[in-house]
Each structure stands twice: as C-alpha cells, then as structure tokens.
Structure 1
Amino acid sequence: MLQVENLDVHYGAIQALHTVSLEVRQGEIVSLIGANGAGKSTFLKVLSGIHSASAGVVTFEGQQTTKWTPQQYVKKGIALVPEGRRIFKQMTVLENIELGAYLRRDHEQCKKDIETIYERFPILFERKHQNAATLSGGEQQMLAIGRALMSKPKLLLLDEPSMGLAPNYIRQVFELIQEINNDGTTILLIEQNAKMALSIADRGYVLEVGKVVLEGSGAALLNSEEVREAYLGG
C-alpha cells in the first residue's frame, strides 16, 4: 500500500531524515518507534503532505505522492491524527467531527458516519454540544481519532497517540487502534511507548537520529535485546 524509498528530509541546513525506507502493507499495523527527536513526527509530516522531502520516493497505492497537496492526501485515503491532538478547542465536539468530512460531498452518508463515531465513542455523543476544550486529554484523543475517521481513510497515520495520557486511557486508545484495524483500516503508528506499540504491531521499525536501524515483526522487535535495553528498560 505505502512504499517509502530512501527518504531524506531537511530543515534548512539540518538533515532530519537520512535515506529512510519503509513499507506498509494493506491491513497491517506498522509501528515506528524511537526516542524523542529521532525524526518520527517529521516522517509523518512528509507522508501527509505537510513537509516536503529533499530526496527519495513515496508511493501510495502505486502513485507517487511528490506533487500532492495535503488535500489530495486526504482525498486519496490518508488521514493524520497529529501529535498533541490539535483539535479545535473553541468549537464543539460535533463541529470537530464534522470538520473531518470537509472534503466529502456525500452528506447523508456523513450523517450516518457521525452516528458510527458516536457508537464507537459514546462519551463524544454525551458531550457533542460541549466545547472540545472541556474534554479530558484522553477524550480529546478520541475526538482527534474520530475526526480523522470521518474522512474514510484507507491508511490512518497516528502520531504519538498515548502522549500525556493517563494509563487507563492509554489502554483504551491502543484497544481502539486494534478495533479500527480489525474494521479494515491500515495503520502506521508513531510512538515513544515502544512496548505498547510493538505489542499490537504486525511489523515495526526503529528510528534513531533520522535513520532506520532495525526492522522486523512486532514480536521479534519486542523480544530484541537491543530494543529492550534502549526502549523497554532492559
């Protein structure tokens, strides 16, 4: 589904990613783990059209994405849940959800999909007319995921979904990720919580200082001595 080959990314004179190659197959959960500052969020910005690559090729369903606008990424079936959630706090929960469908024209189906979001996230239904600022961190993360799902993505990009959440919400979010995947959405998950990320991943990659240094099945990386020492506390 997604092929990334020899991706370089610069911020001015600083190179953030070095010849990164990665593959996401249809139906998979793929986790990209690494320490803060490894380049994980930069990678997702390129995959969602927010930042341009200096070199390399990204292909989605056989099409090169080089000249796509961010809107085209969404139209083609790629949705991003950004780091820090980035919901519109001054707007209601319902208004945030509706924004996820801003490129769609099938209005009647959108209404049905909103009901599906409410079924998946009952707390969002209860608070649909409240400003999003009144939600807890975990509830805001659910809202950010629900908003992304309204674009009907084939590939869902998740940037640090567990960041800043209480342990009970972290468990809920990862269970939700698995449910979304079971419903047919392919997922690329960027996470610092290596144990949780690899435990649900079909395959994983380890990013260090902008370079992929390890790759393998989620189970293999979870049991890797190198990964355990670096990211799992030994």
Structure 2
Amino acid sequence: MLELSKINVFYGGIHALKDLSIKVNQGEIVTLVGSNGAGKTSMLKTISGIVKPKSGTINYLEKHITNCSASEIVKMGIAHVPEGRRVFGNMTVMENLEMGAFIRKDKSEIKEDYEKIFQSFARLKERRNQMAGTLSGGEQQMLAMGRALMLRPKLILLDEPSMGLAPIMVDEIFSIIKEINESGTTVLLVEQNANMALSIAHRAYVIQNGNIALEGKAGDLLKDESVKNTYLGG
C-alpha cells in the first residue's frame, strides 16, 4: 500500500532521515518506535507532504507521490493526526469534525459518519457543542482522531497518540486504534510507548538517528532483548 525507499530529509545542516525505507501493507497496523529526535515525526510529515525529501521515493497505492502537495495527498485518502493533537481550539467539537470532512461531497454519508464517530467516541457526543480548546488532553486526542476519520481515510498516520495522557486514557486510545484498523483502515503508528504500540501492531520498525535499525513482526520485537533494554525498560 505504502512504500518509502531510501528517503533522505534535511533541516538545514541536520540530516533527519538517512536512506530510510519502510513498507506498510493494506490492512496492517505498522508501528515505528524510537527515542525523541530519532526521526519518527519527520517521516510522517514526509509521507503527508508537509516536508519534502531531498532524495528517495514514496509510492502509495502504486502511485508516485513524493512530490505531491499535502492537499493532494489528503485527497488520496491519507489522514495525519499530528503530535500534540492540533485541534481547532476556538471551534466546537462538531465544527472540528466538519473540518475533517471538508473535501467530501456525500452529505448523507457524512451524517452517517458523524454518528459512527459519536459511537466510537461517546465523550465527543456529550461535548459536541463545547469549544475544543476546553476539552481534556484525552478528549482532544479523540477529537483529532475523529476529525481524521471523517475523511474516510484508507491510511491513517498517528503521531504519539498517547503522549501526556493518563494510563486509563492510554488504554482507551489504543483500543480505539485497534477498532479503527478492524473496521478496514490501515494504520501507521508512531509511538514512544513501545510496549503498547508493539502489543497491538502487526509489524514494527525501530528507528535510530534517522535510520531503520530493526524491523520485524511486532510480537518478535516485543521479545527482542535489545528492544526490551532500550525501549521497554528491560
């Protein structure tokens, strides 16, 4: 479904991604784990067209999308939930969800999808007329995910969805990620909580200093001693 091949990204003199190659198959949850500054967020921004690579190729559904704009990539069915939620704080929950559907024309089906979002995220239904900026961190994360799902994406990119959340909310968010995948959406998950990420993913990559250091089945990496010692607290 998605393949990055030998991607190189620079920020001025900083070489953020170094010949990075990964593959995501349709229907999978693929997770990328690594420490802060390893290049995880840069990779997602490169896929969604926010950052342009200096070299390398990105193919999505057999199309070459390396030089496509962010708006073109959204129209192809790739939704990006950025680190830090980035909800529209001065707009209501409902208005945020409407923004997620802004490129869609199928009004009756959009209404159906609002109800699906409210079934998955019951708290959002209770707060549909509340300003998004007044929601808790966990509720904002739910809203950011719900807004992305209003696109009806084929592929959803999730950047640190558990960051700053209470443990009970982390469990809820990861349950929802599994539900999203089981309903037919492919998931590429960037996450510092390696234990949780590897427990729900099909496959995983470990990134260090902009390079892929390890890859394999998520269950195998969960048992790998080097991964345990570095990312899972031994």
2:196: which partner in 1?
A: 196
Structure 2 contact 97–143 (Cα < 8 Å) conserved: yes
Q: Quote the Cα distance in structure 2 between the aligned partners of 1:117 and 1:13.
A: 43
1:89: which partner in 2?
A: 89
Q: Quote the Cα distance in structure 2 between the aligned partners of 1:209 and 1:67.
A: 24
2:163: which partner in 1?
A: 163
1:36: which partner in 2?
A: 36
Q: Quote the Cα distance in structure 2 between the aligned partners of 1:83 and 1:2.
A: 21
Percent identity of paired positions between Structure 1 and Structure 2: 54
Residue 158 of structure 2 corresponds to residue 132 of structure 1:
no
2:111: which partner in 1?
A: 111
Q: Quote the Cα distance in structure 2 between the aligned partners of 1:191 and 1:178.
A: 14
Question: SS at 2:129's partner residue?
Answer: coil
Q: Quote the Cα distance in structure 2 between the aligned partners of 1:172 and 1:27.
A: 21
1:101: which partner in 2?
A: 101
Which deviations, in whole Å up to 9, do the C-alpha atoms of 1:110-138 show, x marking residues without a partner?
11111111111111111000101121111
Runs of 4+ in 1 over 3 A off after TM superposition: none
Which deviations, in whole Å up to 9, do the C-alpha atoms of 1:15-39 show, x marking residues without a partner?
1000000000000000000000001
2:2: which partner in 1?
A: 2
Deviation at 1:67, TM superposition (A): 2.4
Question: Could you tell me which amino acid in structure 1 is paired with residue 212 of structure 2?
Answer: V
Residue 174 of structure 2 corresponds to residue 174 of structure 1:
yes
Question: Could you tell me which amino acid in structure 2 is paired with residue 173 of structure 1?
Answer: I
Residue 53 of structure 2 corresponds to residue 53 of structure 1:
yes
TM-score, reference length from structure 1: 0.99
1:77: which partner in 2?
A: 77
Q: Quote the Cα distance in structure 1 between the aligned partners of 2:232 and 2:66.
A: 36
Deviation at 1:68, TM superposition (A): 1.2
Which deviations, in whole Å up to 9, do the C-alpha atoms of 1:138-182 show, x marking residues without a partner?
111000000000000000000000000000000000000000000
Which deviations, in whole Å up to 9, do the C-alpha atoms of 1:28-75 show, x marking residues without a partner?
000000000001000000011100001100000000102211111111
Question: SS at 1:177's partner residue?
Answer: helix
Number of residue pairs matched by the alignment: 234
Question: SS at 2:71's partner residue?
Answer: helix
RMSD in angstroms over aligned alpha carbons? Answer: 0.6
Question: Could you tell me which amino acid in structure 2 is paired with residue 122 of structure 1?
Answer: A
Q: Quote the Cα distance in structure 2 between the aligned partners of 1:69 and 1:5.
A: 19
Question: SS at 1:35's partner residue?
Answer: coil
Structure 2 contact 52–67 (Cα < 8 Å) conserved: no
Q: Quote the Cα distance in structure 2 between the aligned partners of 1:67 and 1:113.
A: 31
Deviation at 1:210, TM superposition (A): 0.6
Unaligned runs of 5+ in 1: none
Question: Could you tell me which amino acid in structure 1 is paired with residue 86 of structure 2?
Answer: R
